């Protein structure tokens, strides 16, 4: 089976995670459905020690082939859940066969344009998997799962030489909890790679430092006709808080190593309001400064509107895994060689986000990130070339076949 065929099958299963239910793992029961399917498929392929735990983590192993017994055990990791940013229910993937260039009409009034997605020009003549415009596709990260299992199938059926391999598929990566309960002892890898990135050339060992910030705003609501010097409109206080953040430091105006404040949710009335942000920066000092700025705004608002009017809660999510991987360049170089063997020029770049590798690296399992071939993640414009998925299968085989 080719990798894209697996993706089409996995994409139809809703696995959206839910940040509001992060106290339990997985955060959504639906993730178990795909976990069960993967467990069954791994057993049928012939992986050993296949195991699915109560939290939706699915494990499997392949012993080293003859002559590779002294090679390191390499882990391969991808995540089961899809982002809660956009609907993952009733996904209807379709294939644009032999793409000949130009924009791709999806439906629902949505179009994947060459202007916004110039990668399309690199995939002329290829088959491209897209959505129907009403949901995300889920290639983030079901493409990674599909590529890993297709590589495992090739190793088994074709008898290709390889090191020992440990596989794990995790829940809840999209809400920052995907690696918390991964059993490292059971996993048994010396180091690992996540397949959770974009273009096939991508190789990343740097992530953001990340936290979330929630503002709870308590207003004073009285009849507007007699509100002078009494009413405090929580909605207006919320707007004032956002106005005190640097307007240029948002995702839509930053790139590369530039950090940001991202307002993800807002709701409210005159009586109460709530703002939710994520805060990101690659530099640890700048990351701390962003949190301190929010703390100063909280102090200023409470001084202006009265003690207890505003409450800020910051929750740490993950740290920049470069702190660990700068000292393990051997692992990064191995991935570079695997890419070059496939005729690719490694594009070593920081991730403007995070992966399970962030937590895992700090837990003692160094874990850079590789691409999957996907673009436009977390929304209806998500798309991926079937040829790029095949390329990533070959990259994984190169990675595992090096002594």
pLDDT of residue 255: 93
Q: What is the pLDDT of residues 355-391, one digit of tens each?
A: 889 889 999 999 999 999 999 999 999 999 999 999 9
The Cα 177–Cα 80 span in angstroms is 12
153 is an active site residue: no
173 is an active site residue: yes
- Average pLDDT (76-89) is 95
Has residue 178 got a pLDDT over 80?
no
Q: Could you say which of 41, 140, 153, 173 is catalytic? A: 173
**How many residues appear in the chain?**
403
Has residue 181 got a pLDDT over 90?
yes
Cβ neighbors of 283 (< 8 A, separation 6 or more) are 209, 257, 259
How large a percentage of the chain has pLDDT more than 70? 100
Has residue 91 got a pLDDT over 90?
yes
Q: What is the pLDDT of residues 20-60, one digit of tens each?
A: 898 899 999 999 999 999 999 999 999 999 999 999 999 99
pLDDT of residue 23: 85
Q: What is the band of 354 on the pLDDT scale with cuts at 50, 70, 90?
A: confident
DSSP, res 16:
B
pLDDT of residue 148: 98
DSSP, res 221:
-
- Average pLDDT (254-272) is 96
Q: What is the pLDDT of residues 306-350, one digit of tens each?
A: 999 999 999 998 899 999 999 999 999 999 999 999 999 999 988
pLDDT of residue 143: 98
Assign 3-class secondary structure to 164-193.
CEEEEEECCHHHCCCCCCCCHHHHCCCEEE
- Average pLDDT (75-103) is 96
Q: What is the band of 76 on the pLDDT scale with cuts at 50, 70, 90?
A: very high
Is residue 373 a contact partner of residue 388, using CB atoms and an 8 Å limit?
yes
Q: Does domain 209-318 have CATH number 3.30.70.360?
A: yes
Residue 18: other Cβ atoms inside 10 A = 17
The Cα 352–Cα 152 span in angstroms is 29
**Sequence ranges of the chain with CATH classification 3.30.70.360:** 209-318
Q: Which two three-digit tokens encode residue 289?
A: 């400064």
Q: What is the band of 176 on the pLDDT scale with cuts at 50, 70, 90?
A: confident
The fold of 3-207+320-401 is Aminopeptidase (3.40.630)
pTM of the model: 0.88
Has residue 351 got a pLDDT over 90?
no
**Sequence ranges of the chain with CATH classification 3.40.630.10:** 3-207+320-401
């Amino acid at each position: 089976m080719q990798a894209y065929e697996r993706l089409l099958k996995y994409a139809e299963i809703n696995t959206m995670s839910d940040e509001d239910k992060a106290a339990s793992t997985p955060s959504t029961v639906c993730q178990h459905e795909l976990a069960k399917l993967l467990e069954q498929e791994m057993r049928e392929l012939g992986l050993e020690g296949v195991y699915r735990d109560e939290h939706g983590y699915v494990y499997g192993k392949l012993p080293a082939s003859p002559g590779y017994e002294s090679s390191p055990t390499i882990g391969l990791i991808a995540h089961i859940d899809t982002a809660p940013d956009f609907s993952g229910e009733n996904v209807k993937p379709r294939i644009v066969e032999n793409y000949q260039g130009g924009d791709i009409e999806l439906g629902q009034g949505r179009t994947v344009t060459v202007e916004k997605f110039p990668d399309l020009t690199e995939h002329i003549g290829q088959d491209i998997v897209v959505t129907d415009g009403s949901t995300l596709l889920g290639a983030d990260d079901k493409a990674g799962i599909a590529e890993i299992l297709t590589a495992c199938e090739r190793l088994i059926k074709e008898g290709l030489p390889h090191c020992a391999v440990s596989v794990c598929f995790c829940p809840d990566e999209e809400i920052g909890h995907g690696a918390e309960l991964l059993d490292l002892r059971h996993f048994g890898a010396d180091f690992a790679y996540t397949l959770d990135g974009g273009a096939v050339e991508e190789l990343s060992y740097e992530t953001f430092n990340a936290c979330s910030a929630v503002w709870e705003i308590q207003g004073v609501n009285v009849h507007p006709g007699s509100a002078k010097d009494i009413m405090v409109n929580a909605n207006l206080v919320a707007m004032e808080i956002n106005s005190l953040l640097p307007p240029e430091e948002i995702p839509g105006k930053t790139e590369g190593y530039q950090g940001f404040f991202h307002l993800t949710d807002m709701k409210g009335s005159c009586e109460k309001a709530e703002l939710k942000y994520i805060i990101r920066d690659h530099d640890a000092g700048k990351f701390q400064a962003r949190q301190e700025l929010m703390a100063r705004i909280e102090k200023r608002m409470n001084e202006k509107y009265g003690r207890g009017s505003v409450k800020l809660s910051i929750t740490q999510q993950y740290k920049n895994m470069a702190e660990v991987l700068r000292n393990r360049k051997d692992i990064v170089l191995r991935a570079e060689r695997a890419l070059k063997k496939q005729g690719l020029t490694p594009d070593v770049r920081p991730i403007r986000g995070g992966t399970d590798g962030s937590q895992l690296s700090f837990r003692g399992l160094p874990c850079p990130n590789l691409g999957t071939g996907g673009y436009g993640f977390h929304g209806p414009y998500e798309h991926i070339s079937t040829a790029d998925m095949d390329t990533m299968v070959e990259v994984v085989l190169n990675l595992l076949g090096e002594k």
